[in-house]
Amino acid sequence: MSLFLTATDTGVGKTHTAVQILRLARAAGIRCAGMKPICCGDRDDAARLLAASSEGLTIDQINPVWLKTPAAPLTASRIELVKIDVDLVLETFADLQKRIDLVVVEGVGGWLVPIREDFFISDLAAAMGLPVLVVAPNRLGCINHTLLTVRSITAEGSRCAGVMLNDLSGPAGVASTTNAEILSRVIEPPLLTPLTTELAFLPDDWGELFSLRNPLAFADDNLRPRDGAGR
């Protein structure tokens, strides 16, 4: 089972979500890895994914393409006069899939961020053949941005496996207290329980996502920690 994480924007919690999935999967005894195909700027996200992944992996397996410019991949590649090697990304992903039970791939920014002039994050998810999870910030504007992203995923021919609202710090307002209810009425993909650091195992709806919605996924029994695991 593998999953592609995208978001309605940059900096809204994709890495946090990926790290929590990996933490809870490892607690259940599942060999797993996070993957950040392309990093632009620092490599902090890739380092966090490596630390949360199962042992025996390297930073270059987690992040095969690293551009130093903090911008969209197409912009960074033009500034640095390099062509992003998509084949390397796909080969690295295929190798991880052979060795790892669960691969969580984290995209760059949002769904339509350009990697090359003719290749976008949406194309990368499609080339990997992965279901897509949308991470959205639970704030004003969330409904519009989430609907646009979910509809674009479907229009691009990929499957949206679910949406997770990430509660950002700050006082709750009308939007943050009503977004979940409204989204559950206007989108088809399930709205998933937010993953927090306090959780000891994956919530039931995440278990359904991994075990019932994908025939290649691990069994539901594996989602809860085994005796002594994660302690």
Q: How far is CA 49 from the centre of its chain?
A: 11
Burial of 112 (0-12, 13-18, 19+ CB in 10 A): middle
Residue 180: both structure tokens together: 């979940």
Query: If phi over 0 gives left and psi between -120 and 50 gives alpha, with beta otherwise, what is residue 141?
Result: left
Crossing angle of helices 14-27 and 44-52, rounded to 10° = 10
Whether residue 121 contacts residue 112, with contact meaning beta carbons closer than 8 Å, is answered with yes
The reply to whether 98 belongs to the active site is: no
Instruction: Please give the pLDDT value at position 169.
Output: 63
Which of 80, 8, 97, 1 has its CA nearest to residue 38? 80
pLDDT per residue of the chain (231 residues) written in tens, 0 to 9: 789 999 998 888 999 999 999 999 898 888 999 999 999 999 999 999 999 999 999 999 999 999 999 999 999 999 999 999 999 999 999 999 999 999 999 999 999 999 999 999 999 999 999 999 999 999 899 999 999 999 999 999 999 999 999 986 666 688 888 999 999 999 999 999 999 889 988 888 887 777 533 333 333 343 333 333 332
| Candidate list 14, 36, 68, 83, residue with the active-site label | 36
Buried residues in 171-199 as b, exposed as e (16+ CB within 10 A): eeeeebeebbeebeeebebbbbebbeeee
Could you tell me the strand order of the sheet in which 132-137 lies? 32-35, 102-106, 2-7, 132-137, 160-166, 191-192
pTM: 0.87
